[in-house]
Amino acid sequence: MSHEPHEPRRPRDASGRRSPDRRLAHAIQRVTSTALGPYQSAVVRIGFSATWLLFLLWEVPHRHELYGPEGPWGWDMAQRLIANNHAFTALMWSDSTVWFECLYVIAVLSSALLMLGWRTRAMSVLFMIGVLSLQNRSIFMGDGGDNVIHLMAIYLVLTRCGQVWSLDARRRTERSRDLAGPVLWTVLGVALVAGTVLDRIGGEWWLITLFWGLWIFHGVWWAVNRRAPGSELRTLLDVLTNLVHNTTLAVIMAEVCLIYATAGWYKIQGSRWQDGSALYYPLNLDYFTPWPALSDILAGSGLIVMLLTYGTVIVQVAFPFTLFNRKVKNVLLVAMMLEHAGIALLLGLPFFSMAMIAADAVFLPTAFLVWLGGRVALGRDRVFRSRAKRVPEQRDAPDEQAARTLVG
C-alpha cells in the first residue's frame, strides 16, 4: 500500500479560522489573479461615456461658444493659462475651426464606442483625450459633474472595463479573427509619431512617455495573446493588468467617498445647512427651476425643505462609514441615487446627476448588476424576436394581395 505525502494542514487559530499569513496570501493571490469588480467597472464605463456623449450631443448647437474659437475664453488667454498649469488639450495645437470640429467628432465617436465596449483599451485613451482637450480648453465652463468626468476619464484608461457588457467580451467569446485591432493600433501609432515629431502633444515629456507606453503595452499585449496565449509572459501581463485594474478600482471608490465626505463636512460648516434652510434658496432661483410650479410647492413647505436639507447632509457624511455594513450601505446608496435624480429634476442639472449616479454605481452589489444585466438582455431578445416575427408578415402581404388579384 503506497503512502503518498499529505498536503500540510493550513495553520489555523483557536477559533478555527485561517491564520493571518494564510489570509494575506489568499488576498494577494486574488488581487493578482483576478480583475475584481467586472460588472462595477463596466457600469462605470457605460455611465460616464453615456453622460459625456449625451452632453456633447446636447451642446452641439453651442459647441463653438463653449470650447471653440468663438468662446469667451479666447485663444490667447487659454495659451497663457496652459503655459502656467501645463494642462493637456489638443485644441491648443491649432486655432482652426476645422481642427476643432475634427476633435469634437472624435470625442463623440470615442464616447459612443467606449459605451458599447468596442476596443475599450484604445477607446478609453481617445475618450480621455477628448475629455481633457475640451475641458482644459475652457476650464470655467464646467461644474462638479465635469470634474468627476475629468477624473474618471483618466481612471478608466487603467481599468479592464470591457470584461462584461461589451462588444469586446462578445468578440472574445466568439473567437473571431481580429483585423480591426491591428489597423487601429497602426493608425494611432502613426498619429502618435506625427504628434511627437511635430511636438504637438504639449511639450511635456511625461505625457509623451505615457502615450508611448500605452501604445507599446497594447501592442505587446495583442502580440503575446495572439502568439503565446499560455506563456509565462502572458501570465505576467495578466498579473500586472490585474494589479493596475484593482488598484484603480480602489482609487475610484476612495474618490467617491472623498467627494461625499468633503461635500458633507463643508455643508455642516454652513449656517444655512445648520438651520435647515439651504435647499430653499436654489428652489427660488430662476436658473435652477426648470419646473417652477413644483419648486414653489416644495419651497412653500418648511418641513419638506428642512427634511431634504438635513437628509442630504446626513447621507453624504455617513456614507463613507457605511461601507463596513453592506445592508446599510445599499440603503444609503439608493438614497444618494434618488437624491441625484431629484437634483436633475428639480434643479435642472441632468448631466451632473448622471455623472454622480455613474460614480455611485461602483458600489452596487454584483448580484443586483447580474440581475439587471439579465433583465436588459431578456428585454433586448424580446424586442428582436418581435421584430423578426413582424418582418415575414410584411413580406407576405404583397404576395397575398397578388394572389387575391389573380383569383378575382
Question: Which set of grid coordinates corresponds to residue 241?
Answer: 493588468
CB count, 10 Å around CB of 165? 24
Residue 25 pLDDT? 80
- When computed from its CA atoms, the radius of gyration of the chain, rounded to whole angstroms, is 26
Res. 408 pLDDT band, cuts 50 70 90: very low
- Report the residue count for the chain: 408
Q: Is 398 exposed, middle or buried (0-12, 13-18, 19+ CB in 10 A)?
A: exposed
- Output helix, strand, coil percentages for the chain, rounded to the nearest 5: 80, 0, 20
The amino acid at 33:
S
Question: pLDDT tier at 120 (50, 70, 90 boundaries)?
Answer: very high
| Strand ranges in 238-310 using DSSP code E only, listed in sequence order | none
Q: What is the CB neighbour count within 10 angstroms for residue 338?
A: 12
Tell me whether residue 164 is exposed, middle or buried, using C-beta atoms within 10 angstroms of its C-beta: 0 to 12, 13 to 18, 19 or more: middle
- pTM flag (> 0.85): yes
Contact 207, 201 (CB under 8 A): yes
Q: CB–CB of 287/390 below 8 Å?
A: no
CB atoms within 10 A of CB 144: 13
β-bridge partners, 18: 12
The pLDDT tens digits for 349-379 are 999 999 999 999 999 999 999 999 999 888 8
How does residue 229 score in pLDDT terms, banded at 50, 70 and 90?
confident
d(CA 294, CA 173): 49
Q: Rounded to an integer, what distance in angstroms lies between the CA atom of residue 81 and that of residue 87? A: 9
What local confidence, expressed as pLDDT, does residue 341 receive? Answer: 95
What 191-200 contacts at long range (C-beta under 8 Å, 24+ apart), as own/partner pairs, is 200/90, 200/93
